[in-house]
Amino acid sequence: MKNRLLSIALTLFLTSTAVFAGDETAALVTIKDFKFVPQHIAVKTGQTITWENREKRQYHSVWFEALGEEEPADYLFPEDTYARTFDKSGTFPYRCGPHPEMTGTVTVTE
């Protein structure tokens, strides 16, 4: 029973938005199975989102192309992270450069 509960808790952690312990200004998006999890995330202005690549062998990027940004030169390899703080409200779509079918959206509110 303990192992089953632990497995359920771990699954929920890996597939939901997580707030880092003691830091209400941070959120986590995992990259797993060629998906951003969660795909859509809402934060308040001033919050930081960290993307973490939890693939075993695949590299990815977090590219805010719609903002006119260049594709990141540094890819996220397994266990790499990328963090971004959102200082203004709005909806910000992003995608993985090498895998355009991988998309996500950040909604920032006051």
Q: What region does 9 belong to: left with phi over 0, alpha with psi -120 to 50, or beta?
A: alpha
Mean of per-residue pLDDT scores for the chain:
84
Per-domain residue ranges of the chain: 2-109
The matching CATH number, chosen from 1.10.10.10, 3.90.1010.10, 2.40.180.10, 2.60.40.420, for 2-109 is 2.60.40.420
> Does pLDDT of 91 surpass 90?
yes
Given CA atoms 41, 63, 35, 2 in this order, what sign does their dihedral have?
A: negative
> Does pLDDT of 6 surpass 70?
no
List pLDDT tens digits, range 14-57.
Answer: 333 343 344 566 799 999 999 999 999 999 999 999 999 999 99
Q: Are the C-beta atoms of 84 and 48 separated by less than 8 Å?
A: yes
Peptide bond into 72 cis (omega under 30): no
The residue type at 104: G
Query: Confidence class of residue 12 from pLDDT cuts 50, 70 and 90?
Result: very low
pTM of the model: 0.77
Residue 79 to residue 52: CA distance in whole angstroms? 6
